Amino acid sequence: MIRSLGFVAALILLNSAWAFPGPNFLPLSEDQHELLVTILNWLLALCLVCEVNTELSRWAEDKWIWKDDKSVWNWGNEVAVITGGSKGIGAMVVKTLVSYGIRVAVLDVEPLSDVFLSEESNSINFYKCDITSRVQVHEAGEAIRSDFGSPSILVNNAGIGNANTILESSPEGLRTIFEVNLLSHWNTVQEFLPDMIAKKKGHIMSVASLAAFFGLAGMTDYSCTKAGLIAFHEGLTQELKHRYSCPQIKTTIVYPNWTRTRLIRAIEKGIRGPVMDPKDVAEAMAKQIISAKGGQVILGPNIAASIRALPTWLQEFIRDRMAHIVTVKATTAVA
């Protein structure tokens, strides 16, 4: 935003200079001068429209709350629940939140990895939990409230992926990926949201993917689960505003680009372009939480979110360019 405003200011100054040029300011004819001024005015108007549009979008994403009350957040007293927090992106999110003094409860089927330092252990509790089981999530929730108190932050990070075509996908594999990547969000939100509503404070973050914006050959099931998270995020946001009168509870959806985790190990050679480091994804997620703002976090080309607004031929061209990435058959991998 600062750069945009600076650009606007520069345009205004240049416009003034061209509108009232001093001697020998520019060796232009009168017609050329008028054309330059016209172009500059249109650029200035376009820049202002874009800036207004950006601010309106941010306002809408934050549930039309103009000014957030950050004073309600005391990071040393906050408790965060992170699914899939033992390894990969989730582990980096845990470490980053702990650095702010937040206590973290990790829900995972795998034990904590060795990336955690001994001094971090006092702020982290591990709960072995299959998040696809409503019973196990409830049992973990009871244990967390007993150990830490009611969580105010929920990061639904856990995710798995397959590298299979539609014809190669098994019923068991489909059921598992939908339960982990999408249906588990109902389990965790049903468990932890009521306390947030009672306190009118909380932040629920869903980790999707840029794959949510377009289906890719060889990973249709994964794209479907991440596209479903868009609807989940939007529906949750609407219900908080219009069913529970709690716009104060923040909702965020994160769209990482390809990230170097176990999820892409089998297909990484086919990826063209940069691959993100889990630490960079985690820092962006933590920054959103610490800023106490809701909305979208797109970690990649912003055009990805608008791909369906493009002409059909251009959409298909983009998908065709990515059809080579997933050409192997791989078993389920964890993010």
| Domain definitions of the chain by residue range | 1-15+31-54, 75-334
Is 199 a known active-site residue?
Answer: no
**Angstrom distance (rounded) from CA 106 to CA 127:** 6
Return the sign of the alpha-carbon dihedral for residues 162, 223, 311, 49.
Answer: negative
pLDDT band at 23 (very low <50, low <70, confident <90, very high): very low
> pLDDT digits over 31-45, tens only?
777 887 788 888 888
Q: Are strands 160-163 and 330-334 parallel, antiparallel or unpaired?
A: antiparallel
**Angstrom distance (rounded) from CA 80 to CA 106:** 8
pLDDT value of position 68: 66
Is residue 252 within 8 Å of 288, Cβ to Cβ? yes
Write the single-letter amino acid at 198: A
> pLDDT digits over 81-138, tens only?
999 999 999 999 999 999 999 999 999 999 999 999 999 989 999 999 999 999 999 9
Is 226 a known active-site residue?
Answer: yes
Correct CATH for 75-334 of 3.90.1150.10, 3.40.30.10, 3.30.930.10, 3.40.50.720 = 3.40.50.720
pLDDT value of position 24: 47
Tell me how far apart the terminal alpha carbons of the chain are, to the nearest angstrom: 33
Asked whether the predicted pLDDT for residue 198 surpasses 80, the reply is: yes
**Angstrom distance (rounded) from CA 101 to CA 298:** 26
Asked whether the predicted pLDDT for residue 215 surpasses 50, the reply is: yes
Task: Considering the candidates 63, 87, 95, 222, report the single residue annotated as catalytic.
Answer: 222
> pLDDT digits over 141-180, tens only?
999 999 999 999 999 999 998 888 999 999 999 999 999 9
The reported pTM is: 0.81
**Angstrom distance (rounded) from CA 311 to CA 328:** 30
Average pLDDT over residues 296-325: 87
Task: Considering the candidates 95, 226, 250, 293, report the single residue annotated as catalytic.
Answer: 226
**Angstrom distance (rounded) from CA 109 to CA 158:** 10
Which of 150-154, 290-294, 307-311 has the lowest average pLDDT? 307-311
pLDDT band at 2 (very low <50, low <70, confident <90, very high): very low
Write the single-letter amino acid at 255: Y
The SS3 call for residue 293 is coil
